[in-house]
Amino acid sequence: MSKRLKRLTATAIGVALFVVLALCVQVPVFQNYYLCLGYVAMAVYCYSFGAVSGTVVGTLGVVLYCLLTSGLRGMPGWALGNVVIGVGLGLTFKATKSLKAKGNQYALWVGAVILFTALGILGVKSLIDSLIKAQPFLVRAAMNLYAFVADAVVLTLSLPLCPLLDTTAQKLL
């Protein structure tokens, strides 16, 4: 099997993992919002396979999850927000993987999670939602604050898993 086909297969497995984790493990945190554990798969794929695979896992994973649970409601914003998160985290992981100072490395990762989740959810998702629903941007951003906090928490808690699961993930290739 060619390396390209193996990467494509590994990425498809990641998309499936995102959907399964998001559907099967729902932890309620705010009113009607659940922690999306699919972001664990996205973080591991961004770390192990790079920005492209991680972004595809997060974007297609959320598209499939939305289609299965709520149709098109909210999907464009989530999908484009996950593009920002996936590209940002993938590039950050690539740039910092070789740092010797693990404390600094982890601090950069947490900062990247907060920054790119804020840009993706509070920025892009809120902008798309405000355009689709014809509501002011700040209203949508306030409504997406729960999602930002919950997704940032899941991604932050996923960070220690990324290096631990890297060897296993690389065996897919």
Prediction pTM value: 0.92
Beta bridge partners of 27: 35
In the chain, what are the domain boundaries?
A: 3-170
What is the C-alpha separation between 9 and 24, in angstroms, rounded? 22
What is the C-alpha to C-alpha distance for residues 62 and 24, in angstroms, rounded to an integer? 14
- pLDDT under 70: residue ranges of the chain: 31-32, 74
Per-residue confidence (pLDDT) for residue 47, from 0 to 100: 97
Q: What is the CATH class of 3-170? A: mainly alpha
pLDDT of the residue at 159: 96
Burial label for 73, CB within 10 Å (0-12, 13-18, 19+), is exposed
Report the C-alpha gap between 152 and 118 in whole angstroms: 8
Q: What is the pLDDT of residue 139?
A: 93
